[in-house]
Amino acid sequence: MANEALQAALTERYDAVSTSLRARVISFVLAAFDSLGNYRDADADAFVEHVLPTVLAAQAQMGQLTDAYLSAMIGDMLGTTQAAAGVRLAEALRGVEPAEVYRRPFVTAYTALSQGKSYAEALGEARTRLLSITETDMQLARTHAARQSMERGGAQFFRRRLTGTKNCALCTLASTQRYRVENLMPIHPGCDCKVEPLVGNKDPGQIIDEATLKAAHAAVAKGVGQSDASGRAPDYRDVIITRQHGEYGPLLAVRRHEFTGPDDVPSP
């Protein structure tokens, strides 16, 4: 029989440790960027050489934490002993070399300067991009590790569990749905939701949190003047969707958002 008190304790501990890890690596990366005397190519090289080992180590640690948490949760849910066996995370979770990814903020700065923006504005845009990159990489480590751990543990379905006191509308609506373990949890830049396995191997159905969904409908009705519990007016399936991002994988998005593809890049 599942021990709800144990599961609550596991979740609380995992949330605290993973949130602390995420905050510490973000603080380290941003401090390293802010401490640079200049932001030329040589400085970019030195920055990448300095921060990348710590970032990759933090991703690996996030993977191990996630594996330990989910193994314990699945074991308690199924009444078995699930020892964390470890996960294998590729350094290039995006399919792009990390060194290239962490040079992108500098490219952002150079581009901003070429557009006539001030030095302070250029560095601000670069710093914002660096923050997004680091947050997303930590979340990718979490989702990739979660899929490996749940597949090994025999779970077939999972839910998106909101964390913290503030969550965007995309994540709130997505948290009312069940997902299949073979699919990575869709994320978005800055996302910090976690994966939580669902008990048993019987499909619980698409909607697993009616209360939150009804609250979301009420908020939409208040904001736009209409809502429909069946999701037809407005049809949320036409608004909140999952796109396949070339680097992130499944990306939680709004249908009207478009992404640049190869055909959109002008020929030289």
- Count Cβ atoms within 10 A of the Cβ of residue 243 and give its class: 0-12 exposed, 13-18 middle, 19 or more buried: middle
- Our CA dihedral for 80, 70, 159, 7, rounded to 10 degrees, sits at 70
The pLDDT of residue 232: 40
The residue range of the domain holding 47 is 4-264
C-alpha–C-alpha distance, residues 258 and 12, integer Å? 37
Sign of CA dihedral 28, 30, 31, 32: positive
* Rounded alpha-carbon distances, angstroms, from residue 46 to 54, 57, 103, 126: 14, 18, 10, 16
- Our CA dihedral for 72, 78, 82, 85, rounded to 10 degrees, sits at -90
Tokens 């400085």 appear where? 43
pTM of the model: 0.78
Amino acid at 242: T
What string of pLDDT tens digits covers the 268 residues of the chain?
568 888 889 989 999 999 999 999 999 999 999 999 899 999 999 999 999 999 999 999 999 999 999 998 888 887 777 667 778 888 888 889 999 999 999 999 999 999 999 999 999 999 999 999 999 999 999 989 998 988 888 888 888 888 766 677 777 777 788 888 887 776 666 777 888 888 777 777 777 777 777 776 676 565 555 444 444 444 454 455 566 666 666 666 655 444 444 444 344 3
The pLDDT of residue 256: 47
The pLDDT of residue 212: 76
End-to-end CA distance of the chain: 64
Other Cβ atoms closer than 10 A to 260: 8
The pLDDT of residue 173: 77
C-alpha–C-alpha distance, residues 80 and 109, integer Å? 52
C-alpha–C-alpha distance, residues 55 and 68, integer Å? 20
Smallest CA-to-CA distance from 161 within 3, 7, 1 is with 7
Number of domains in the chain: 1
